[in-house]
Amino acid sequence: MRKRSIEDVFRKLIPIPESGCWIWEGCTARGYGVSFKFNGTTRVHKIIYEWTHGPVPEGKVLDHLCRVRCCANPDHLEVVTAVENTLRGSGITAINKQKRHCKHGHELTNENVRLVKGGRSCKQCERDKYPTSNKRRREMRLLSKGGK
């Protein structure tokens, strides 16, 4: 099996004039174009980006600004952190990060949010759910100190 040249990779790209995307017509994995004969298995958008702009910096990833995973147009790619890429997406993490209020309408500010298991919890909802717990704790502290 011969190694694929950059020309072979470009031959499998279809330019779409309306969007400017360069669509990969070969194999895909999770929507991303992959080339099996170019330096092992490599994502096509990364091959094209590195051929036109040089290597992607360590710890960075490529974000598709056009939101089309099989697009390899380097003008549609931006180098970002993995976290930034995730937050720009449409997954549950990005959706939840954009929420400004809990399901009961309380504002999700730094003062009203507690981080729990990688997510956020509304402190006001917790107070509403367990209204006597803080009062009971205060009373227990006072009793243990000998006061009332």
What would the pLDDT profile of 15-32 be if each residue is shown by its tens digit? 999 999 999 999 999 999
Mean pLDDT of the region 104-125: 87
Structure tokens, 24: 């990969």
Lowest mean pLDDT among 47-51, 78-82, 130-134: 130-134
CATH number of 6-96: 3.90.75
Task: Check residues 29 and 136 and name the one with the higher pLDDT.
Answer: 29
Task: Check residues 55 and 129 and name the one with the higher pLDDT.
Answer: 55
- Residue 102 per-residue DSSP state: -
Check residue 129 and give its pLDDT: 82
From residue 114, give the alpha-carbon distance in Å to each of 107, 108, 118, 119, 129.
13, 9, 10, 8, 15
Domain with CATH 3.90.75 in the chain: 6-96
Check residue 148 and give its pLDDT: 53
Check residue 1 and give its pLDDT: 44
pLDDT at 43 over 90: yes
Check residue 54 and give its pLDDT: 94
- Residue 13 per-residue DSSP state: E
Is there a contact between 26 and 41 (Cβ–Cβ < 8 Å)?
no
Q: Is the pTM of this model over 0.75?
A: no
What would the pLDDT profile of 64-82 be if each residue is shown by its tens digit? 999 999 999 999 999 999 9
